[in-house]
Amino acid sequence: HPYIYKITFATANESSALVIRPFSEKGTLKDLIYKARPKDPFLKKYCNPKKIQGLELQQIKTYGRQILEVLKFLHEKGFPYGHLHSANVMLDGDTCKLLDLENSLLGLPSFYRSYFSQFRKIN
């Protein structure tokens, strides 16, 4: 799918998994929002609220549509994706591409699991 970021190499065994992707100079959607460079340390990139900027309306429309299209594609294929957040959306030019699709295959809990588990009626 054009909105899924490619994997260069992947391997797994009984106790671990390794996934390698190409490095992106633009970084993730989170990097764009925080005006951060991908190679900077985590605390330097994301712990200064003064650097946070919003996105332009056209960017929100474009990125939103691309993310919804790939989520629709995954849903139609019966593939669960519970790790949607700005750090799992890679920017490639003016295109968004999802990362970490393998998490559900590896049995990792959803990013939002703690929020879901608060509600008794949701299984």
* pLDDT digit string, tens, across residues 56-106: 999 999 999 999 999 999 999 998 888 899 999 999 988 999 998 888 778
Report residue 122's pLDDT band, with 50, 70 and 90 as the boundaries: low
At residue 33, φ and ψ (nearest 5 deg) are -65, -40
On average, the pLDDT of the chain sits at: 87
How far is residue 37's CA from residue 115's CA, in Å, rounded to a whole number?
Answer: 30
What does the pLDDT read at residue 107? Answer: 75
pLDDT higher than threshold 90 for residue 110: no
CA end-to-end span of the chain, whole Å? 30
Cβ pair 101, 74 in contact under 8 A = yes
What does the pLDDT read at residue 82? Answer: 82
Angle at 62 between CA 114 and CA 109, to 5 degrees: 20
Report residue 119's pLDDT band, with 50, 70 and 90 as the boundaries: low
Tokens of 46: 């994301």
How far is residue 80's CA from residue 74's CA, in Å, rounded to a whole number?
Answer: 7
